[in-house]
Each structure stands twice: as C-alpha cells, then as structure tokens.
C-alpha cells in the first residue's frame, strides 16, 4: 500500500494546544491570582488603553496576562498595560483580564466598560487669537483687520490683551503709559474712548461723540454681531501686568478682586472717561475671563513664592463661583507657562476643574536671552539640543505631557503658536546656524523678535529640524526661528492626533494681510 493510501485512512487532527515552557527549569505549581485594578487611563476615537496591577509569580513560575474584549481574547502580554486599537468611535467596550502561568490561568477579573471618543472634526476645535490693545498704534492693526484678513471666520474666540491687575482689583479706565517697574498703566483710550472713523470700523459706521462705548471694545462688539458664534475674552495680566496677582489672590483679597473684574468686564460697568463709560457701557462685549498670570509660584517679570500655588487654585475657584452666579456658560481660561518648571510648582490636577480650557504657551522656549541659537517653538525635543536641566524638556510635546500626566484632560489643552520669530545675528553657518553663538538680531520693534509678516520677506536658506520639527531661516549671518504655514499645518495634525482642544496664537498683527498663519491653523484642524 502506498503512503498516500495510509494518509487517506488517518484520523482527523486534534485541536491545537499552546504550551508555555518554563525557562527556570523548575516546576511551577502556582496558578496566579486574579489581577486587580483594571482601568482605562486613556481613550481615542479608535483605541482604548488599559492598565492593571501586577500579580506575584509563584516559585519557578512566569506570569503573563490575557486581555479579553467582550469575552474574546485580544492579546497575551508580559506587560501590565495594553492598548486595544482598530475600534469604532463613540462606542462602549467591555474588558476583563486574567493572569496565566505554567500552572494554569486565573479567573477573569471583573469587567470594566470604556468608551472610545467621538471623532472630532476641525469645526469643533478651538481657534483662539490674541488681539493686542496697543496694536492699533505703530502696528496699525485694527479689529477691522481681523475681518478683512479673512481671519474672523476661522476663529472661535478672541482674547483681548490685556487688563491690568493692580491694588487688588481689576484696574479699568486709566490712561497712563505702562511702567514695568511698578505695574501701573492703562489705556482706556484704546479700550473704549477712541473714536474710529467709518473706514476703520468693522461695519463701516463711524463712532459718534456721545457713544458710551467706543474704541476697540465697541469694534469687538460689532465683530461679534457679524460673527454670532465668536466669543471674546478679556485677558488679565500678561508679562508686564502680572505683578498684582500675588496680592489679589490672597485669601483676604480674592473675593473682592474677582468681584471687581466681573463688575467691569462682565457687567460692563466702566469708569466714565472722556464722555465714554458708565453703568453697563461694556455689557455684552466679553463672554468670559482669561487669566495670564506669569507665573504663579515661579519667575516671570518678578519671582513668586510657594504659597502662590494654593492661592492660584483658590483664585480660579472663586472666579468660577462668581461667574456661575452671574450666568452659567460664562467662560474661564488661563494662559499657562509651558516649561515644566512653571507647571510642577502649581496644581493642574486640582485647578483644571474650574476652567473651560488652558492655553499652553508653547513658544518662547528659547530666545536671545540664550547665548546661542535654538528653536523657540519646537514640537519635540532633540538629542542634539545642548540645553541642560529643565530646558531639555522645553518643547511643545513635553509641555503638553506635563499637564496631561498631572491629570488635565487633553481636550482642555490648547497648543500655542507664535506669529513671530526669535532671531540671533553674527551667527556662524556651522550646522546651518543651529546651536551657534549669536546676539539679538535687529528687528522692527524689539531686537531679537520680529513679526512673521516681516520675516517671510527675508531672503536666505530655510531648514527644518527632522527630529524637533522646528523651522528656521538663515539669512546671511542672521538666524530666525519661527513657524511657517507648513509647520503650523503639521502642528495641527498633532493637535488632532492627541485629541487636544485646539490651538491659539499670539497675536493677530504678526500675521500677513491675507491671514496666512490663521488660515494654516484652521485648515490644519479640518
């Protein structure tokens, strides 16, 4: 009989079994216990991450874990975490986990249910632009230009910068040049008394002498009328006007301080100046309050003290309480420093509950305060970066992770874009100018700092750091680090992939007349 005939008469094969050999050479007799603490620390629109506690291995045993979804095994792994991908968006899934050794498998754990996130389209992402009070002067950038540049239709929010914090109150109505040494200063003229002619006005109608609200705030109100979904925030503080926060946030001062801010900016009660202002004059201009304290319990123009961390959290709680008493739905946000040294001294895990979102200032990581060139807004870190200490994590990804690992939901975080570049001159061409010695480059308003609309006109060679994802221009011996439209578009892909809330920028007047950078943000979030 031929072998072929023998095969014909053979029985069917048995079901396959999997045998895990014991690398220790001994005999494992201990069936592991059921893993505890199964949870889902993160979800995306198509994946769910799981984690659980480790199980002790018996003598001569190795322990692995089996993850089940809806009763079907998904993986066997030595790790105590697993990400199940390829899932449907906005859908509940049930998971269990068991432990297995050479002696056998434990029972499955109690099931947990986790839900994938819905798919978020670009229209649901925030696009926030800062309008600088003083931009109407030398920069000649008016509220109307937000519209004529086609930027207004791309925005969800505008932050008006800034309101002063002084003498434990929101100081409004002052007309006095800003003094960085004392914190005194204000420009009620720009805010609400300046008359804009018809050609300067959003709606083509000029101001009249007897209007109670003129200036930038009236123009913002007109812009909101043209774009009804647009929200406008008053941003308090900033670099120069933050010195008053430390005192205002103290327990004995914070309630009255917050009340003064809400009275001026939400109820709209303004001091009468040059015939403008009065009770309710600014009602309807602002939809919420943004705090730009630079920086609680850390160093900005001045250095803070440790107790400012708790005071900052309590201040946000008080703003939330009083805003909700006026009207539910009023917004509260902060602009937060992006350096881990600024983040670790505060308590984002506690304070984020009071906020609608956090604008993380992911720019100015490096500038001409550094003796050598570097990226001012890199997306990632680079092993080639010569920085040391905390500055090694001065990049966008690490900054956002500093908040996420402290419990802030990704959807509450907005990535920051600077509409300007940082520049050094007298720079060597070695390494295309990167990480080379230099001094502050000449610029239009401030050495070492130039608007995008100016830098884009400069000749030279353009480079992109393949690891850090950062762009620069070497123009002769001058190095400019800045975000161009292509890199901004790439950063918006990061926003979407990380399920962040959106993006914001500082500030409108740095863009070109066509609003190219604002367009790159909106297009990238589609």
pLDDT averages per 10-residue partition of the chain, 526 residues: 35 48 71 95 78 92 96 93 85 95 95 80 82 97 98 97 97 92 93 98 96 98 97 97 96 98 98 97 98 96 94 98 96 97 96 97 97 97 95 96 97 98 98 98 98 98 96 98 97 96 98 97 94
The number of helices, as runs of H, and strands, as runs of E, in the chain is 13, 27
Task: Name every residue whose Cβ is closer than 8 Å to that of residue 276 and which is 6 or more positions away in sequence.
Answer: 192, 193, 211, 212, 213, 214, 215, 270
Q: Give residue 25's pLDDT.
A: 61
Q: Give residue 87's pLDDT.
A: 86
Q: Give residue 124's pLDDT.
A: 86
Domain with CATH 3.20.20.80 in the chain: 127-354
Q: Give residue 45's pLDDT.
A: 67
Instruction: Report the SS3 class of residue 114.
Output: strand
Task: Name every residue whose Cβ is closer than 8 Å to that of residue 510 and which is 6 or more positions away in sequence.
Answer: 418, 419, 420, 451, 452, 453, 517
Domain with CATH 2.60.40.10 in the chain: 39-115
Angle between helices 396-404 and 485-497 (to 10 degrees): 20
The residue among 394, 415, 398, 396 whose CA lies nearest residue 406 is 398
Beta bridge partners of 498: none
**CATH topology for the 39-115 domain:** Immunoglobulin-like (2.60.40)
Q: Give residue 241's pLDDT.
A: 95
Instruction: Report the SS3 class of residue 254.
Output: helix
The residue among 51, 103, 48 whose CA lies nearest residue 77 is 51
Q: Give residue 7's pLDDT.
A: 36
- Whether the upstream peptide bond of residue 66 has omega within 30° of 0, thus cis, is no
Composition of the chain by helix, strand, coil, percent to 5 = 25, 25, 45
CATH 3.90.226.10 is the classification of domain 127-354: no
Q: Give residue 482's pLDDT.
A: 98
Q: Give residue 88's pLDDT.
A: 86
| C-alpha pair distances (Å), 261 with each of 7, 80, 407, 432 | 90, 49, 29, 49
The residue whose two tokens read 């059921």 is 34
Q: Give residue 14's pLDDT.
A: 47
Which are the catalytic amino acids?
294
Residue 148 C-alpha from the chain's centroid? 27
Model pTM score: 0.77
């Amino acid at each position: 009989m031929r072998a072929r005939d023998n095969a014909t008469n053979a029985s069917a094969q048995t079901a396959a079994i999997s045998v895990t050999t014991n690398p220790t050479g001994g005999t494992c007799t201990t069936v592991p216990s059921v893993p505890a603490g199964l949870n889902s620390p993160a979800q995306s629109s198509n994946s769910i991450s799981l984690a659980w506690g480790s199980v002790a291995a018996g003598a001569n045993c190795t322990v692995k874990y089996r993850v089940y979804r809806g009763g079907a095994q998904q993986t066997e792994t030595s790790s105590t975490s697993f990400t199940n991908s390829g899932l449907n968006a906005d859908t509940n899934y049930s998971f269990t986990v068991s432990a297995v050794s050479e002696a056998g498998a434990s029972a499955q754990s109690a099931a947990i249910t986790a839900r994938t996130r819905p798919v978020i389209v670009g229209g649901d992402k925030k696009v926030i632009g800062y309008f600088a009070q003083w931009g109407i002067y030398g920069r000649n950038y008016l509220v109307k230009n937000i519209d004529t540049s086609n930027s207004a239709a791309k925005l969800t929010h505008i932050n008006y910068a800034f309101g002063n914090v002084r003498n434990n109150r929101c100081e409004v109505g002052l007309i006095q040049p800003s003094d960085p040494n004392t914190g005194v200063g204000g420009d009620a003229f720009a805010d609400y008394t300046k008359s804009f002619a018809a050609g300067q006005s959003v709606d083509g109608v000029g101001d009249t002498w007897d209007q109670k609200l003129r200036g930038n705030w009236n123009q913002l109100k007109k812009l909101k009328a043209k774009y009804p979904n647009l929200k406008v925030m008053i941003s308090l503080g900033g670099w120069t006007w933050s010195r008053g926060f430390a005192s205002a946030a103290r327990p004995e001062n914070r309630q009255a301080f917050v009340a003064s801010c809400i009275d001026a900016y939400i109820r709209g009660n303004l001091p009468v100046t040059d015939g403008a202002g009065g009770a309710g004059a600014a009602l309807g201009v602002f939809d919420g309050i943004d705090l730009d304290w630079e920086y609680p319990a850390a160093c900005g123009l001045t250095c803070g003290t440790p107790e400012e961390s708790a005071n900052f959290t309590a201040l946000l709680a008080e703003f939330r309480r009083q805003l909700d008493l006026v009207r539910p739905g009023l917004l509260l946000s902060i602009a937060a420093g992006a350096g881990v040294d600024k983040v670790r001294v505060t308590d984002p895990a506690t304070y984020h509950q009071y906020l609608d979102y956090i604008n993380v200032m992911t720019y100015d990581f490096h500038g001409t305060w550094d003796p050598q060139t570097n990226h001012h807004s890199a997306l990632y870190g680079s092993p080639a970066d010569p920085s040391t200490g905390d500055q090694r994590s001065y990049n966008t990804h690490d900054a956002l992770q500093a908040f996420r690992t402290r419990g802030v939901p990704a959807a509450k975080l907005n990535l920051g874009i600077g509409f300007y570049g940082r520049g050094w001159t007298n720079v060597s061409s070695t390494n295309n100018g990167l990480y080379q010695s230099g001094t502050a480059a000449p610029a239009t308003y401030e050495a070492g700092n130039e608007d995008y609309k100016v830098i884009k006109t400069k000749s030279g060679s353009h480079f992109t750091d393949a690891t850090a994802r950062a762009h620069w221009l070497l123009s002769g011996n001058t190095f400019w680090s800045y975000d161009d439209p292509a890199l901004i578009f790439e950063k918006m892909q990061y926003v979407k992939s990380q399920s962040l809330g959106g993006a914001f920028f500082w500030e409108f007047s740095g863009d070109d007349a066509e609003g190219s950078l604002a367009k790159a943000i909106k297009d990238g979030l589609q």
